[in-house]
Amino acid sequence: MNLPASPFHDTPLATFARRLRSGEASALGATRNLLRRIETLDAKLHAYTFVDAERALARAAALDQLLTAGVDLGPLMGVPIAVKDLFSVDGMPTTAGSDVDISDLVPPQGRFVDQLQRAGCVILGKTATTEFALGGFNLRRPPPWNPCDLGVPRMTGGSSHGSAVAMAAGLCAFSFGSDTGGSVRWPAALCGVVGYKSTTDHWPQDGIFPLSRAMDSIGVFTSCVADLRVVHAALAGVSVAEAPLPSQLVLALPGAHFFQNIEPEVEACFTRAVELLRDAGVAIREVALPEAAEIEEVFGRLVTAEWLAFVGRDRFLANESIIDPVVAARVRGGLELRADQYVRLASRQQALTTLIGERAEGIDGWLSPTVVKLPAPCTDFRGVDDVAAWNRVTTQNTRPANLFGQCGISLPMQHLGARWPAGLQLCAAPSHDRRLLAVAATIEAIIGRAAALAG
């Protein structure tokens, strides 16, 4: 296949930025390259649901002209990116992955996408999401093809799987998703890329179709932590924090819940990662986190109740026949939740956020496998019960961070002993996002980086 390598393959964003300003690279050239890759590869991968090629090329050309004229918008200027099909972007459709008519619910473009555009990003298009971001797999709409195995379709995780696949396959420089119960960290782990979930209120979420106002958060997929730190610093308007020395770090192992159902290869990778961190001088403590067991009762019921409150009970019942059966089954479980039960659950979620925040004093983060399973063949999952069981097990380690209000990140660790992608998760106290990314840089330097899946 005569296909050019992505200009961002093994090329950090900071290096592209230097090349752009020296004239060695151009926004238009990078955009053309990625659009060609999308045209060639996405017929199989299905990472994108909408590609805005004409406007992306026009914007890239305009950004090159601005830079020539001496107008520099910062380190993300001219960088082609992708956003999940929950983010409203003027001139692009938003479907939330559904055939249900939600046109009256789609918000106008919000402040976060405004910020991306002011930073000079080129938005290539929208990426696939599971229907309404409820879970990781739809029976009626199979997930994108996981590029870790081009011969067998494997689970990608969800719901931001289109953004993860686009990143893994070199179809963008970086991409955005949303994370309510692991929807960035989960597919990042199974697709072999870096995935960061911000604290819920870290970035503005107007302009994004919601799942749970209490636990939604914006997330970013990149190929390495260095790129993630550039993106975060540029959008937050801060400098890149200095990475701490290993001897300055204290990490916690959160207990039995996070190691239930674990596959041997994932456990082997995680054990090796912990050994490397300890050998480098990182202090690692075992700290119980029994509240993680509340994810089914509190998290599960809150999410469906808040989705129903936004979309509407009547709309759901009128359209249930065209909604994916996995999604419909999950939503039906929330139809009978009473108002007093909802208030108690919401209060418990707030109390847990406070409690876990206090318990994080003196700890730089909680360390665990991101997902306890490797990406299984999609053909193993033929019915609602199969998919529901997979979703529960593979989000057992990601959902607690949303329940506790934490920020979190997944780093690839399959190079430490697995056949298929596996992720190392680090979660930190709410609003410690900048510190989290600095700590992640130190961890990545210690455990090493997995080879990129695609050129």
Q: Which positions are annotated as active-site residues? A: 84, 159, 183
Could you say which DSSP state residue 424 is in? E
Q: What does DSSP say about strands 80-84 and 174-178: parallel, antiparallel, or unpaired? A: parallel
Interaxial angle between packed helices 264-279 and 433-447, expressed in degrees from 0 to 180 and rounded to the nearest 10: 100
- Count other C-beta atoms under 10 Å from residue 79's C-beta: 29
Half-sphere exposure at residue 195, Cβ-oriented, CA atoms within 13 angstroms: 41
Could you say which DSSP state residue 133 is in? G
With residue 45 as reference, give the H or E element that holds it. Answer: helix 27-45
Residue partners of 119: CB distance under 8 A and separation at least 6:
73, 74, 76, 77, 234, 235
Give the residue ranges of DSSP H helices in 94-160: 111-118
Contact 345, 294 (CB under 8 A): no
SS3 content of the chain, % helix, strand, coil (to 5): 45, 15, 45
Interaxial angle between packed helices 53-68 and 27-45, expressed in degrees from 0 to 180 and rounded to the nearest 10: 160
- Count other C-beta atoms under 10 Å from residue 245's C-beta: 11
Sign of CA dihedral 442, 447, 425, 141: positive
Structure tokens that stand for 310 in this block: 């936004």
- Residue with token string 């298929």: 420
